[in-house]
């Protein structure tokens, strides 16, 4: 039998910009009992994503914002501990939108997938074999359309998505250039993720470093930051460049949108394509990406880093920490079975 | 025999921004004699294009800027009046990059095409059956990918390119919304070019008018202006919107680039695609577009307006006039045979 208490992190007030610990509250409710065609999941790992900033924002977005008093929306990976659903058995490992809480009841509709890679850690289903890996895979291959020999530039290059983009681009025969902040992360880019060049936007002259690293211009720019980093990359596009907009980590608030140099002339003169990426649009092809990524992981050709902390108490401040750029790998919160 | 004098408009000084009359000089040289494999063309019509601003700009562009003292680069339509080239006969009508001058010598390499639509005015080869029509055709159909029922918004909607875009979109079964300046042009959009709605950016509240005209959002935005008009359209994109960047008429100078609200969030949230269009990339498919456009013109389903003025003296001030938005049709300069 599950413990009687379900700890939940709920949205207390709506932030303008990056959510801080004070915007959340930790509450306790009884663990629910399940009905016909339902399962009870114990969340072994909770995910922390940059996208969560958007999920709690009142500004127009791709999904309804989390309501005040509701459990924080989140991907989680867990174990089915009770099932009255014909599609799930006790012991099944599942990944889905189970929220920042110990236990989730599901009718299956919020289960993204059963985790079938039993030889690999369950936590990977929230990172390199989860949204991060799948985002990198389709964003780079489907939208970025890299060709062997192309120069691919990645911002937040050492991050959970960025590091996968850089490595997949390299597997495709591209020259890869990572932009990241600080010496530790630039070293990580070069030594661990195999970038041909790594630029420290905090220390380097980004324009000069880009010109040096991309002598024939930038063919693909996988953008996780927006802001002045993107401004610098756009000045060095090659003809026919593809710009994949995956995130806007450098922009603290979009209400109102910040000002920057207009992009139209770059797009026009270079006949470039700037495209928005939302991984949920690839839900129907999710397994295709995970299968390919898992092969690369098993072969040791696709590396990943995780930073796993213990306890749901960590969750409220986790998004703000992510935006401070302090983590060196996919941030996950482990919840012990009780 | 041609007259002994070839009048030419040459670039005198390099403008920063929109070229004015004072940046050009009108000079006279003898009409050249032709050599083996050359033709002599009398230019019957000279074209005036918004793109000419870029052709004389020192700022990075898609072509080498016109040199100081060189004849102004321009499309022209004319008649072969002497030929020592096996591919051309006296009397052939040709369109190509012949420059702002009475006569041009060519080895054929700067001939865009022979004008084979003998039943239609030669001037059309510089407008609706020329770069303007071909730009509208490929920009809308190949990049914009309109589907029946889509809402297509066009800026400089009454212009030579814009009016063609609006009409082709309508022929494709789209709802068309034109943005233009002044009452005369909005009326032209509605009555002559068949737009379902026309917005006067000088008089209307553009945000409100767009919301009213595009209740399900904007599926395709064919952008000839950039600037605040584009900012308004980007706020009302539909999911999956396509933005075709064809021109930046509202921006006086790109050196340095002007500031505007950053676009990344719109592109990301709406999974939009912003694409630069350069018609020269479609050179290999030029005849495909002209053939289709000519059918529509003959059937009376594709309307056009021309404003033809007389005499090369008109040329130096013509680009600035275009940017003042005073013309109500494709601006051409007719040169009489002498």
Q: What is the pLDDT of residue B61?
A: 66
* Chain pair A-B, CB pairs under 8 angstroms: 118
**A16 vs A318, higher pLDDT:** A318
Question: Phi and psi of A259, rounded to 5°?
Answer: -90, 150
Q: What is the pLDDT of residue A113?
A: 95
Using omega within 30 degrees of 0 as the cis cutoff, is the peptide bond preceding B164 cis? no
List domains and CATH numbers for chain B.
5-127+305-334 (3.90.180.10), 131-280 (3.40.50.720)
| Calpha distance A199→A185 (Å, rounded) | 10
Q: What is the pLDDT of residue A60?
A: 57
Question: Phi and psi of A170, rounded to 5°?
Answer: -65, -40
For residue B266, list chain A residues with Cβ-Cβ distance below 8 A.
276
At A2, the pLDDT band (50, 70, 90 cuts) reads: very low
Candidates B264, B269, B277, partner chain A, best to mutate (most A CBs within 10 A)? B264
* Closest by CA position to B222, among listed B262, B168, B162: B162
| Calpha distance B151→B85 (Å, rounded) | 49
Which element (helix H / strand E) includes B266? Answer: helix B264-269
Is the predicted pLDDT of residue A182 greater than 90, yes or no? Answer: yes
For residue A262, list chain B residues with Cβ-Cβ distance below 8 A.
226-227, 251, 257-260
pLDDT tens per residue, range B29-41: 999 999 999 999 9
Mean residue pLDDT of chain B comes to: 95
Q: Cβ contact (<8 Å) for B251 and A260?
A: no
User: How far apart are the two ends of chain A, measured CA to CA in Å?
Assistant: 10
B274 in contact with A, Cβ within 8 Å: yes
pLDDT tens per residue, range A24-61: 999 999 999 999 999 999 999 999 998 899 899 877 56
Burial bucket for residue A217 (CB in 10 Å: 0-12, 13-18, 19+): middle
For residue A54, list chain B residues with Cβ-Cβ distance below 8 A.
269
User: How far apart are the two ends of chain B, measured CA to CA in Å?
Assistant: 10
DSSP letters for A28-68:
EEEPPPP-TT-EEEEEEEEE--TTHHHHT-SS--SSPPPPT
Q: What is the pLDDT of residue A61?
A: 66
Mean residue pLDDT of chain A comes to: 95
For residue A271, list chain B residues with Cβ-Cβ distance below 8 A.
62, 275-278, 281
At B16, the pLDDT band (50, 70, 90 cuts) reads: confident
Candidates A222, A268, A273, A283, partner chain B, best to mutate (most B CBs within 10 A)? A268
For the question of whether the overall pTM of this predicted structure is more than 0.80, the answer is yes
What is the token pair recorded at A160?
């959970």
Mean pLDDT of A145-174: 97
B58 in contact with A, Cβ within 8 Å: no
Question: Phi and psi of A209, rounded to 5°?
Answer: -65, -40
Q: Cβ contact (<8 Å) for A262 and B258?
A: yes
Q: Cβ contact (<8 Å) for B267 and A254?
A: no
Beta bridge partners of A207: none
Mean pLDDT of A190-214: 98
Is the predicted pLDDT of residue B69 greater than 70, yes or no? Answer: yes
* Closest by CA position to B41, among listed B74, B84, B83, B73: B83
A246 in contact with B, Cβ within 8 Å: yes
Q: What is the pLDDT of residue B60?
A: 57
Mean pLDDT of A181-201: 97
At A293, the pLDDT band (50, 70, 90 cuts) reads: very high
Question: Phi and psi of B259, rounded to 5°?
Answer: -90, 150
Q: Cβ contact (<8 Å) for B274 and A259?
A: no
Mean pLDDT of B264-292: 96
| Calpha distance A43→A46 (Å, rounded) | 7
Q: What is the pLDDT of residue B204?
A: 96
Check: CB of residue A39 under 8 Å from CB of residue A65.
Answer: no
Per cent of chain A over pLDDT 70 is 98
Cα-to-chain-centroid distance, residue B29: 29
Quote the DSSP letter at residue A101. B
pLDDT tens per residue, range A222-280: 999 999 999 999 999 999 999 999 999 888 888 889 999 999 999 999 999 999 999 99
For residue B62, list chain A residues with Cβ-Cβ distance below 8 A.
269, 271
Q: What is the pLDDT of residue A17?
A: 86
Q: What is the pLDDT of residue B3?
A: 53
Q: What is the pLDDT of residue B2?
A: 47
At A65, the pLDDT band (50, 70, 90 cuts) reads: very high
Question: A residues 221-240 near B, CB within 8 Å?
Answer: 223, 226-227, 230
**B4 vs A88, higher pLDDT:** A88
| Calpha distance B78→B103 (Å, rounded) | 9
Is the predicted pLDDT of residue A101 greater than 90, yes or no? Answer: yes
* B256 to chain A: closest CA residue: A261
Beta bridge partners of B103: B42
* A250 to chain B: closest CA residue: B264
* B261 to chain A: closest CA residue: A259
Mean pLDDT of B271-279: 96
Question: Phi and psi of A78, rounded to 5°?
Answer: -155, -170
For residue A275, list chain B residues with Cβ-Cβ distance below 8 A.
267, 271-274
Q: For residue B273, give how far its alpha carbon lies from the nearest alpha carbon of chain A (Å).
A: 4
Mean pLDDT of A80-88: 98
Question: B residues 277-336 near A, CB within 8 Å?
Answer: 277-278, 281
At A329, the pLDDT band (50, 70, 90 cuts) reads: confident
| Calpha distance A113→A120 (Å, rounded) | 15
Candidates A264, A274, A275, partner chain B, best to mutate (most B CBs within 10 A)? A264
């Amino acid at each position: 039998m599950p413990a009687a208490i379900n700890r939940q992190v709920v949205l207390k007030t709506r932030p303008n910009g990056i959510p801080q610990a004070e915007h959340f509250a930790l509450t306790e409710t009884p663990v629910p009992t399940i009905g016909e065609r339902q399962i009870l999941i114990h969340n072994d790992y909770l995910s922390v994503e940059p996208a969560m900033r958007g999920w709690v924002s009142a500004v127009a977005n791709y999904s309804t914002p989390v309501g005040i008093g509701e459990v924080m929306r989140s991907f989680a990976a867990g174990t089915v501990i009770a099932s009255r659903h014909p599609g799930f058995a006790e012991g099944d490992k599942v990944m889905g939108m189970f929220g920042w809480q110990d236990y989730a009841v599901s009718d299956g509709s919020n289960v993204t997938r059963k985790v079938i890679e039993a030889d690999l850690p369950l936590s990977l289903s929230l990172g390199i074999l989860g949204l991060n890996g799948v985002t990198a895979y389709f964003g780079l291959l489907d939208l970025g359309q890299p060709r062997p020999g192309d120069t691919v530039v990645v911002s937040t290059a050492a991050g959970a998505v960025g590091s996968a983009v850089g490595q997949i681009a390299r597997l495709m025969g591209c020259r890869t250039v990572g932009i990241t902040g600080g010496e530790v992360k630039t070293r990580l880019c070069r030594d661990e993720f195999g970038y041909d060049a790594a630029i420290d936007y905090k220390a380097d002259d980004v324009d000069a470093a880009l010109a040096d690293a991309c002598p024939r211009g930038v063919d693909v720019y996988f953008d996780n930051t927006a802001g002045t980093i993107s401004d610098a990359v756009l000045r060095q596009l090659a003809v026919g460049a593809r710009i994949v907009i995956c995130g806007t980590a450098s922009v603290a608030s979009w209400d109102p949108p910040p000002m920057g140099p207009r992009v139209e002339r770059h797009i026009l003169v270079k006949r470039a394509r700037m495209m928005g990426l939302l991984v949920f649009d690839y839900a129907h092809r999710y397994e295709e990406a995970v299968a390919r990524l898992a092969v690369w992981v098993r072969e040791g050709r696709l590396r990943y880093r995780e930073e796993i902390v213990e306890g749901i108490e960590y969750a409220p401040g986790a998004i703000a920490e992510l935006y401070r750029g302090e983590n060196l790998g996919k941030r996950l919160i482990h919840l012990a079975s009780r």
